[in-house]
Amino acid sequence: MDIVYIKGLKAQAVIGIYDWERTIRQQLVVDLELGTDIRSAAETEDVSNTLDYKAISDRLIEFIETSEYQLVETLAEKLATLLLAEFPVKGVRLRLGKPGAVAAAEDVGVVICRGASL
């Protein structure tokens, strides 16, 4: 299986368990590895034969920025489900980070894998 990746996709969302977090928007960062087969795209040089990472990025940003979850785990699961349902993706490895959530750490978050093994 081939991988199309998107690294460092940034979006703002209402996310968190504390009352003060429910009143602000916080930056989230997404890294994706998307399982697919790129051979047809490589042979034809036709973007319709591969994953459109611009369309995927736009869709994820729109989803994240209209979401209001408490846990990054929930948002990560929803994003993986969306990707598998709306795009021709066989598997997803998704890292969702919440930079600044822990003062002593550069970033915290989750990594999940769904669908076919990458």
- 22's tokens: 């429910």
Neighbours of 113 (CB within 10 A): 14
Q: Structural domain boundaries of the chain? A: 2-115
What per-residue confidence (pLDDT) applies to 94? 98
| Strand, coil or helix: 117 | coil
Question: For the chain (length 118 residues), average pLDDT per consecutive 10?
Answer: 97 96 96 97 94 97 98 98 97 97 95 94
What per-residue confidence (pLDDT) applies to 118? 84
Fold of 2-115: GTP Cyclohydrolase I, domain 2 (3.30.1130)
Tell me which residues are annotated as active site: 98
